[in-house]
Chains A and B, each alone.
Chain A
Amino acid sequence: MSETAITGVTEAAPEQRPASVKPRAMTLNMGPQHPSTHGVLRLELELDGEIILSCRPDIGYLHTGIEKEFEVKNYQQGVTLTDRIDYLAPLSNNLCYCLAVEKLLGLEIPPLAQWTRVMLTELTRLNSHLVWLGTHAIDIGAMSVFLYCFREREDILRIFEMYSGQRMMTSYFRIGGLALEPPRGWQHRVRTFIDAFPAKVDEYEELLTNNHIWIGRTQGVGYISLEDMLDLGVSGPMLRAAGLQWDIRKSQPYSSYEKFDFDIPTRTENDVYARYLVRIEEMRQSARIVKQALEGMPEGRWTADAPHVVLPDREKMKTQMEALIYHFKIVTEGFRVPAGEVYQTIESPRGEVGYYVVGDGTTHPYRVHVRGPSFANLQAIPRMVEGTLIADVIAAIGSMDFVLGDSDR
């Protein structure tokens, strides 16, 4: 039997090919339902055998018009939209939006609220990195890491639930502080989790860091130069794995990050393995921050002293006329925010999140633009995968850690 008969493939003779078809080039659609794209990303790959000749990302499948919706909601209602942008890091988005509007209002946030914000956004970073590590490992073939990661993620989600009543769409940060007083007994819950966590990170590392298959699949894969990344707008752990020590938490501290002691991990290898090591170290650093927040948590109010913005206590509403009036005004029409524009950035688990808020003096934002880190990072995919093997695409895009909700909005 000839080889052709076995494989069922007959190679067309060169003279029979139409002139427009390149020899041996094949177009492959990866996604939008491919399991390793974690959402609805479509990559149009042009292949020569297993080598990628060109890659065209196609996004927008998850576009939900969130920026438009901001314009018909009042400022406080906008917080709930920010959860749904990057659904793996809802509190980071809450924080950035609140900081932007608070900057417009000129509000001073009390220390307790600032520290709680720091603690919860760092738990969010752990949460997001755990999902990333689990799914990234599963893509490359390491099944069990996923189960370990989701075990710890469950504990974090329980802490979020304790604070806000929600596991994912928390909306716990509000303009002017926090939505509710921190729940009774939170110290114990957070302490139990964070004391045990560094040992859990050791477990993940034991499974992966010296694993021959893991190293074989990740080392030297997904390289893209630092110059290219800066030119394409990439931010976050991707840049840190290429040796650039830039973290907005250090360079432009917000919400009292300047009072915390932590390091910015960097690597210089600039491959999938380096990004893995950077994120693992970031988890350890986040755990350090949470611990400091736990131990040094200040006392006091959890909302700013701004009766025209923050809803009054229930008790005051029953005894004070002004409180009742403010409550009525805030609930029925919202609070007015002075005209102006601000651009607030924070370091989310994926990189630089930016909120550009334009106010026109009314109770609704005139325009809100969200700079999602995933959007910019995704632009770098073609540069990263062109010329490499198709199997490496999975590892490369996994190392990017994007969320399609964040890029499509």
Chain B
Amino acid sequence: MLPESLKEQAAAASIEAFDADALVTGKFDRGELTLEIAPEKVVRVCRFLKDERKFVRLSTITGVDRYPEEPRFEVVYHLHCLDGNERLRVKCRLPGANPEIDSVTSVWRGAGWYERETFDLFGVRFRSHPDLRRIMMPDDWEGNPLRKDYNITGSRI
């Protein structure tokens, strides 16, 4: 559901018109628009944003761990429209147990490494990613360092 305050935001209103179920909530804060999308609709919405709203650039993808809250993980996409000089933050919330979301590499190829990084450091799996491997940590590393419950004191032996 689109909050009343966002009715004037063209990007938000167009997603609402495109697929009313996709938009969970949104906010406009400090001049930045954030839209929360249902995780199962992320590829569909991203494809729409790129083709119809001209968000040709994917600036970055990352995660936020809200441990111990549930749903625990946020996957955050920062999009950029060059023509309208407009930026948009798209967010999906995922559960703590077995977090999985569809990969958007079919929309922007540049998503490949960002999704690998999020997989590596948060342990979020991206379905149908062409090459989902660790990118920062060694291949045999255990755990995901950017999770809030990752032990940062003491040494691993």
Determine whether the beta carbon of A369 is less than 8 Å from that of B62.
Answer: yes
Select one of B32, B110, B134, B135 contacting A231, CB under 8 A: B110
Query: How many angstroms between the C-alpha atoms of A231 and B34 in the bound complex?
Result: 22
B60 within 8 A of A: yes
B93 within 8 A of A: no
Determine whether the beta carbon of B32 is less than 8 Å from that of A356.
Answer: no
Report A362-409 residues with CB < 8 Å from chain B CB.
366-367, 369, 371, 375-376, 378-379, 408-409
Q: A252 to chain B: which residues have CB within 8 Å?
A: 85
Report B40-61 residues with CB < 8 Å from chain A CB.
56-60
B112 within 8 A of A: yes
Query: How many angstroms between the C-alpha atoms of A352 and B87 in the bound complex?
Result: 13
Distance in Å: Cβ of B18 to nearest Cβ of chain A: 22
With most chain A CB atoms within 10 A of its CB, the pick from B76, B113, B150 is B113
Q: B108 to chain A: which residues have CB within 8 Å?
A: 231-233
Least CB separation from A408: chain B residue = B136
Distance in Å: Cβ of B109 to nearest Cβ of chain A: 5
Determine whether the beta carbon of A340 is less than 8 Å from that of B29.
Answer: yes
Binary interface encoding of chain B residues 49-89 relative to chain A, with 1 for a CB under 8 A from any of its CBs, else 0: 00000001111101011000000000010100010010101
Query: Chain B residues in contact with chain A, CB under 8 A?
Result: 29-30, 32, 34, 56-60, 62, 64-65, 76, 78, 82, 85, 87, 89, 108-110, 112-114, 121, 134-138, 145-146, 150, 152
Least CB separation from B121: chain A residue = A67
Of the stretches A8-16, A176-184, A263-271, A341-349, the one at the interface is: A341-349
Select one of B65, B85, B110, B152 contacting A376, CB under 8 A: B110
A317 within 8 A of B: no
Query: How many angstroms between the C-alpha atoms of A167 and B146 in the bound complex?
Result: 31
Query: Chain A residues in contact with chain B, CB under 8 A?
Result: 59-60, 63, 65, 67-68, 72, 103-104, 106, 230-235, 244, 246, 251-252, 340-343, 345, 352, 354, 356, 358, 366-367, 369, 371, 375-376, 378-379, 408-409
Q: A379 to chain B: which residues have CB within 8 Å?
A: 109-110, 112-113
Q: B145 to chain A: which residues have CB within 8 Å?
A: 65, 68
Distance in Å: Cβ of A109 to nearest Cβ of chain B: 16
Least CB separation from A252: chain B residue = B85
Least CB separation from A244: chain B residue = B82
- Given A65-B145, A340-B29, A371-B78, A356 and B60 touching (CB < 8 A)? yes
Distance in Å: Cβ of B43 to nearest Cβ of chain A: 16
- Apart from A59-B135, A376-B110, A409-B136, what are 17 other A-B pairs with CB-CB below 8 Å? A60-B136, A60-B138, A68-B146, A68-B152, A72-B152, A230-B56, A233-B57, A244-B82, A246-B82, A341-B32, A343-B32, A345-B87, A352-B59, A354-B59, A379-B109, A379-B110, A379-B113
